[in-house]
Amino acid sequence: MSNVTDTLIKAGLLNEVQVQVALHDQTLNPEMRLGEILSLRGWIAEETVDFFDLVWEMRVKQADRQSIGSYFVEARLMTDAQVEDVLVEQKVSNMRFGEVAVLKGYLKQETVRFFVEHLFPEQLRVKEVSPFSRITQSTESQAQRRTMTNDSTVQQTEETVDETNRQYQKGQARPKPFPPKPAAQRKNLLDRLKKQVQNKITEVNRAANSPDSPAAKRKKNQPSPPPRKRNVLPKESISTSPDLSTLEDEDFDFLNDL
């Protein structure tokens, strides 16, 4: 492996399997750079590989230190907006930059530790503890609080159940639901509703049959239909036989031949 791949593994940005695959791809495509292959596979940005390959050693040797967030931005591990978000949260949480960045999911714990060990080692020596000890302690405290809360809830539930059982054994009356209405009341209500409906129907029919009703007035004002005409057949169609008075003598000559 090359120096840059070793650095990326130590920084928690790659694992050995990913490096082996990338190196194999490079043997098949010798014209491609390692950073290009890693970027195409979606494992790490090409600018991040270039940072650790070309700039990292120089930043470690520099005497003047910048803020740790600026190094993450230069390595393309964080954006300016993410750094600003961490700084705002840092003011109210009283936590270190790396701790907040890890809690927000912007960076891995191994990556922050790698940067702190190489760029700000004095912070580790002063504290003599891991820079993430407070994260661990906070997580443990939260877990303890959740456990205590759960235990308290379980205890309260058990006490409530025991008290209910004691009351039941003493024969105390339990709260009953509202009793249903008697059947007679329901029957009377239905009878009243039926009677109201029948009265309403009677009123409507009486109003419709009244001579002063709009329907009766419309019927009264309608003109009567004209009388139906009888079909009279023409005179010619009534006669069923020819008029003998109009026939000539020659019309009877055929009788002599009989």
Cβ atoms of 75 and 93 within 8 Å: the answer is no
Collapsing DSSP to helix, strand or coil, 120 comes out as coil
CB contact at 8 A, 118 and 100: no
CA distances to 200, 207, 208, 217 from 220, rounded to whole Å, are 26, 16, 14, 5
pLDDT digits (tens, 9 = 90+) for 17-68: 999 999 999 999 999 999 999 999 999 999 999 999 999 999 999 999 999 9
pLDDT band at 128 (very low <50, low <70, confident <90, very high): very low
- In the chain, domain spans: 3-130, 132-171
How many Å apart are CA 75 and CA 47, to the nearest integer? 7
Q: What is the pLDDT of residue 189?
A: 75
pLDDT confidence band for 129 (50 / 70 / 90): very low
**pLDDT for the residue numbered 148:** 52
Between these two residues, 207 and 71, which has the higher pLDDT value? 71
Angle formed by the axes of helices 3-10 and 16-28, nearest 10°: 150
Distance of CA 138 to the CA centre of its chain: 34
Please return the burial class of 22, using the count of CB atoms within 10 Å of its CB with bins 0-12, 13-18 and 19+.
Answer: buried
More confident residue, 1 or 19: 19
Q: What is the pLDDT of residue 67?
A: 94
Q: Which two tokens stand for residue 56?
A: 């990292």
Eight-state DSSP code of residue 2: -
pTM for this prediction: 0.50
Among 50-64, 116-130, 152-166, the least confident range: 152-166
Six-digit token string for 29: 């495509």
Q: How far apart are CA 25 and CA 34, in angstroms?
A: 9
Q: State pLDDT tens for residues 191-245.
A: 888 888 888 888 877 776 776 666 666 666 666 666 666 655 555 544 555 555 5
